[in-house]
């Protein structure tokens, strides 16, 4: 076998531990040998459809073992997976399909209307409909009579592989950014990018071979796939695959299946805490709770600490596969609120607008470098050139500061910074102060035009369920906690805030929906 790519992982795992349980989906266990055999048969299916090395294979569907096996199968052929966001509208999906130009578009039943839309049908793509759930839909298309049986009785079956020669610099996946501003860009991730990111996780989080990982975040998102599923697979643990996130069901699974590792974003951890079963659920099996996407409010972190669980925060982005920094468990309490320090095989630095390194405590843009960082954007050489410094550091567009021990604190996005009367206001800092109010469930701070100051802050706040929180309450809470110029000029109380499919708050939509609405002004 001359394959060093991710497609070879099923071959290697089946060879090492054929009867170990790789995945559990809807109560059904799938061994490493079985997932390998399924990936082999899917590779046969898509190769018969004309897919060759370098071609793109798009997939539109919820989390499933068929989705996972398809990614491995595509990699075995040296082709490139394009996972599609399941919450996009037809025109948005069509844009990504047109941009990536897949040779094969695999989709599942719930998305029939998207596939039948004029925008998608106009592309004239070769499509393949599958129905995950029975566990063999794609495999059956290849003919279950070929090769070994995928039944549990296939003990001692020879590990057969059709892996093509793939090297680490070869392209594995194109993951499109969430599109929170402008058109999404296709982030190219190589086999090496993903592999080195997994190595970082194995060092920084100490993933073990007996992990029982709960995968409830969408797998088209870089964090769920690369921060929990692939590391668990490489180490030989078991991943529990849920089609989507249901907080009540997640708590039940944590207790009943003795889950050891999970990943979530702020809104997911908040939903878990708000469940009526939160206090009574046995969480003692959990060793690692990973988070990414945005800094978690300190009060939320503290509520998990009260249950004896440290949420391990990190910083990253799709372009870094995604891990760039990690707050390791040993420092979790001492450095609460920090995104940690650089991952083992990654490097970070903070620079001012001239490109010079900033000093301790100063705010600067976060730059990232390492073997986990993308080589660039799909068919966008100009955007790729702008994204990197002359010496190869990736501009993240995020602002942060370092403490005297080199721990990173993410402040905000460069584009989200508010400049009011010549003063810089970082919404994330204001949001943290608002979150410290016991009746606040979630909030977002945006800048709105002001004749006198040029721009002022506005807070959009979601109250905790059952509370009677008012705008005046929020403003009174901030008085004395942060400087007066940082206190939002207006506050809007809402029932919910907009999020994308991976649970991240979409600031562009907050600005669109609440940027001009009248609201309570600061006295």
Digit-coded pLDDT (tens) for 180-226? 445 789 999 999 999 999 999 999 998 999 999 999 999 998 989 99
- Interatomic CA distance for residues 85 and 73, integer angstroms: 20
SS3 464: coil
pLDDT for 89 equals: 81
Write down the residue that tokens 């398809």 correspond to.
70
Q: Would you mind telling me the total number of residues written for the chain in this entry?
A: 523
Contact assessment for residue 363 and residue 357, using Cβ atoms and an 8 Å cutoff: no
Predicted confidence (pLDDT) per residue in 475-522, tens digit: 999 988 887 888 999 999 999 999 876 677 888 889 889 987 665 554
Q: What is the pLDDT of residue 2?
A: 63
Burial class (CB in 10 A: 0-12, 13-18, 19+), 275: middle
* pLDDT score of 416: 82
The DSSP element (H or E) to which 447 belongs, if any, is: strand 440-450
Q: Where are the alpha helices (DSSP H) in 175-215?
A: 191-204
Q: Which of 240, 302, 227 is nearest to 269 (CA)?
A: 302
Supply the pLDDT for residue 502: 63
The answer to whether 150 and 142 are in contact (CB under 8 A) is no
- Give every residue of the chain whose pLDDT is below 50, as ranges: 134-136, 142-157, 179-181, 522-523
Q: How many CB atoms lie within 10 A of CB 91?
A: 12
> For the chain, what is the largest distance between any 2 Cα atoms, rounded to a whole number of angstroms?
77
Residue identified by tokens 């948005």 is 92
32: enclosing H helix or E strand: helix 32-48
Alpha-carbon span 15 to 1, nearest angstrom = 12
pLDDT score for 450: 79
What is 417-521's CATH superfamily? ANL, C-terminal domain (3.30.300.30)
- pLDDT computed for residue 177 by the predictor: 83
Q: Where are the alpha helices (DSSP H) in 416-489?
A: 427-435, 471-478
Q: Where are the alpha helices (DSSP H) in 126-256?
A: 137-142, 191-204, 222-224, 230-235, 247-256
HEC string for 251-290 = HHHHHHCCCCEEEECHHHHHHHHCCCCCCCCCCCCCCEEE
Report the half-sphere exposure of 98 (CA within 13 A, side-chain side).
Answer: 13
Nearest to 45 by CA among 175, 177, 138, 119: 138
**What average pLDDT does the chain have?**
88
Question: Rounded to whole angstroms, what are the CA distances from 322 to 90, 180, 228?
Answer: 27, 17, 11
CA distance 26 to 134: 10
**pLDDT at 156 (0 to 100):** 41
Residue indicated by tokens 């003795």: 258
CA pair distance 274, 439, nearest whole angstrom:
12
Give kind and range of the element (H or E) at residue 165. none
């Amino acid at each position: 076998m001359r394959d060093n790519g991710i497609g070879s992982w099923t071959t290697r795992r089946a060879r090492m531990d054929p009867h170990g349980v790789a995945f559990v989906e809807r109560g059904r266990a799938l061994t490493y040998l079985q997932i390998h055999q399924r990936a082999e048969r899917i590779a046969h299916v898509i190769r018969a459809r004309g897919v060759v090395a370098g071609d793109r294979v798009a997939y539109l569907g919820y989390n499933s073992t068929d989705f996972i096996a398809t990614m491995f199968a595509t990699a075995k052929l040296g082709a490139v997976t394009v996972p599609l966001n399941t919450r996009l509208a037809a025109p948005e999906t069509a844009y990504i399909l047109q941009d990536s130009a897949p040779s094969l578009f695999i989709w599942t039943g719930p998305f029939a209307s998207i596939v039948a839309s004029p925008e998608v049908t106009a592309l004239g793509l070769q499509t393949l409909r599958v129905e995950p759930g029975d566990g063999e839909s794609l495999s059956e298309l290849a003919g279950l009579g070929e090769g070994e049986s995928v039944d549990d009785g296939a003990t001692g079956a020879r590990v057969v592989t059709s892996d093509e020669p793939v090297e680490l610099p070869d392209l594995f996946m194109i993951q499109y950014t969430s599109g929170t501003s402008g058109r999404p860009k296709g982030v190219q991730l190589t086999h090496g990018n993903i592999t080195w990111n997994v190595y970082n996780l194995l060092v920084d989080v100490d993933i073990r071979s007996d992990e029982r990982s709960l995968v409830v975040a969408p797998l088209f998102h870089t964090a769920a796939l690369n921060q929990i599923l692939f590391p668990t697979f490489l180490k030989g643990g078991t991943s529990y695959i849920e089609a989507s996130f249901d907080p009540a069901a997640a708590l039940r699974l944590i207790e009943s299946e003795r889950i050891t590792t999970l990943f979530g974003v702020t809104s997911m951890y908040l939903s878990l805490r708000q469940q009526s079963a939160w206090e009574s659920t046995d969480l003692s099996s959990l060793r690692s709770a990973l988070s990414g996407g945005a800094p978690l409010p300190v009060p939320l972190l503290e509520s998990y600490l009260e249950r004896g669980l440290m949420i391990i925060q990190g910083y990253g982005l799709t372009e870094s596969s995604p891990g760039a920094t990690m707050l390791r468990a040993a420092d979790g309490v001492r450095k609460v609120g920090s995104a940690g320090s650089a991952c083992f095989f990654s490097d970070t630095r903070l620079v001012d607008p001239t490109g010079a390194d900033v000093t301790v405590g100063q705010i600067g843009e976060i730059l990232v470098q390492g073997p986990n960082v993308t080589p660039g954007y799909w068919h966008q050489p100009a955007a790729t050139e702008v994204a990197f410094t002359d010496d190869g550091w990736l501009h993240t567009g995020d602002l942060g500061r370092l403490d005297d021990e080199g721990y990173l604190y993410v402040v905000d996005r460069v584009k989200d910074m508010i400049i009011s009367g010549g003063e810089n206001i970082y919404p994330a800092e204001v949001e943290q102060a608002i979150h410290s109010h016991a009746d606040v469930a979630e909030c977002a701070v945006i800048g709105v035009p002001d004749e006198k100051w040029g721009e002022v802050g506005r807070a959009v706040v979601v109250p905790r369920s059952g509370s009677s929180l008012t705008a005046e309450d929020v403003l009174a809470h901030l008085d004395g906690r942060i400087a007066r110029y940082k206190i939002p000029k207006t506050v809007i109380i809402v029932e919910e805030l907009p999020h994308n499919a991976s649970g991240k708050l979409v600031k562009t939509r907050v600005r669109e929906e609440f940027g001009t609405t009248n609201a309570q002004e600061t006295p």
